Amino acid sequence: MAKVVVIGAGIIGASISRQLAQRGAQVTVLEAAAAPAQGATKASWAWLNSNYKQPQHYKDFNIRSMQLWQQQHSDLATFCGCLMLHDERPDPQDPAYPMAPVPAEQLLQLEPALSPELAASASHARLFPAEGWCDPDEATRSFLQDAQQLGAQVLLGHKVEAITIDDGKATQVACSTSQPEQQQQQGSSYTADAVVVAAGTGCPELAAQAGCQLPLLHKPAAIVMTSPLQPGLLRHMVISDTVFMLQRRDGRVLLGETRPEEASNTDDSSSNAQRILALAAAAVPALASAGIEGIYIGYRPYPADGHPVLGWVGGGSSNVYVAVTHSGMTLAPLVGQLVAEEVMAAVGGGSRGSSSSSASRLLAPYRPSRQFQVDGSGVRWADAAQAGTR
């Protein structure tokens, strides 16, 4: 039985683990935090979309994953559509991605909770009916639970400190542990046929040990969760000039700023939360009666060219696979499927990179070895030449 260690129990690690377990791998998930979904996943808006994404291959990649959410995880995702109130971008005119202009006089019928003044002034409103959202914590836990039911071990409080590389291959993954019942334990280590690094913003440090330099930005943003309001207050996700709003099934409303000042992105003070709530209440007056349950700062793992990084370090010469992306909530089902397919093709006896031609084709633009721009300069990511360094 192929043994695979997955580092990270955010939505990406959880989805990959689920798919690996479904393909018969013996999976061990190592997660530094005391619970799953504590990284970027915790603070995600989790808007499932391919809204104006570019270029076409990336747009299609997101659409494929949205379809998987709909076909395979409809219990976890809500496809209520997204209403953008001030969208003056050129009409994408893409039959594969429906969009309907909404005249200002019809807005209140569609979204009765909007402020009438805002509705009257929304001269460029558009509805994207295929878009939706999910609860990131619920989705991550559900994927992990599926994996566990198929035998995966999920070890929380296990921070990976070192990946031992021998002759270009990971031979051991060493952890420090922080679970209270393991006070006496100094650490633990694991061997595997393949190691998948799905550690979000923690990826560069781990991938570097296998000789791969990941130019990853950590882009912060603040999100606010309100106390529960009447479910059904908001019928769609709503994005105005100032705020992003979606209502969870339990009535709580998730808020974020669409054009935040830089300082707001890392400000988790209650005054910042109150300010964001006030912006939302100007758009949806019923929100004025909401309390604030929390404000969270999330750091997006954002590859420097904005696209996913999915592939073997060194192009296949090592057994370390990196999986990190922005838009990870949208992309989790597809990434989980394609990565598991590639990993199993390799550990199941095939050569690395011998997965199905459709997986290889879909993943081709996102390899760690690609050429891409950072601050205008071409950078080639470190590859096999550096494998073996720690």
Distance CA(239)–CA(125), nearest Å, equals 10
* Interface with ligand FAD, residue 309, by CB under 6 A: no
* Interface with ligand FAD, residue 65, by CB under 6 A: no
Q: Which of residues 268-307 bind ligand FAD (CB under 6 A)?
A: 298-301
* Interface with ligand FAD, residue 122, by CB under 6 A: no
* Residue type (1 letter), 64: R
Distance CA(30)–CA(9), nearest Å, equals 7
What is the three-class DSSP state of 37?
coil
What is the three-class DSSP state of 135?
coil
Site string for ligand FAD, 66-95 (x = CB under 6 A): ------------------------------
* Residue type (1 letter), 354: S
* Minimum CB distance to ligand FAD, residue 121 (Å): 25
Residue closer to ligand FAD (CB basis): 263 or 349: 263
Figure out which of the listed residues 19, 45, 141, 362 binds ligand FAD, where binding follows CB under 6 A.
45
* Minimum CB distance to ligand FAD, residue 115 (Å): 24
* Minimum CB distance to ligand FAD, residue 34 (Å): 10
Figure out which of the listed residues 2, 4, 8, 363 binds ligand FAD, where binding follows CB under 6 A.
8
Site string for ligand FAD, 199-218 (x = CB under 6 A): xxxx---x------------
Cβ neighbours for 19, distance < 8 A, ≥ 6 positions apart: 336, 337, 339, 340, 341
Give me the DSSP letters along 99-118.
Answer: -EEE-GGGHHHH-TTS-HHH
Figure out which of the listed residues 4, 11, 214, 246 binds ligand FAD, where binding follows CB under 6 A.
11
* Interface with ligand FAD, residue 343, by CB under 6 A: no
Distance CA(227)–CA(84), nearest Å, equals 24
Residue closer to ligand FAD (CB basis): 119 or 343: 343
Query: In DSSP terms, which residues pair with 125 in a beta bridge?
Result: 102
* Interface with ligand FAD, residue 43, by CB under 6 A: yes
Strands 26-30 and 3-7: parallel
Residue closer to ligand FAD (CB basis): 301 or 368: 301
Figure out which of the listed residues 4, 9, 114, 363 binds ligand FAD, where binding follows CB under 6 A.
9
Residue closer to ligand FAD (CB basis): 2 or 46: 46
User: According to DSSP H, which parts of the chain are helical?
Assistant: 11-22, 56-72, 107-110, 116-121, 136-149, 203-209, 270-283, 328-347, 357-363
* Interface with ligand FAD, residue 30, by CB under 6 A: yes
Cβ neighbours for 149, distance < 8 A, ≥ 6 positions apart: none
Distance CA(138)–CA(140), nearest Å, equals 6
* Residue type (1 letter), 108: L
Binding site for ligand FAD (CB under 6 A): 7-13, 30-33, 38-41, 43-47, 159-160, 198-202, 206, 221, 223, 298-301, 324-330
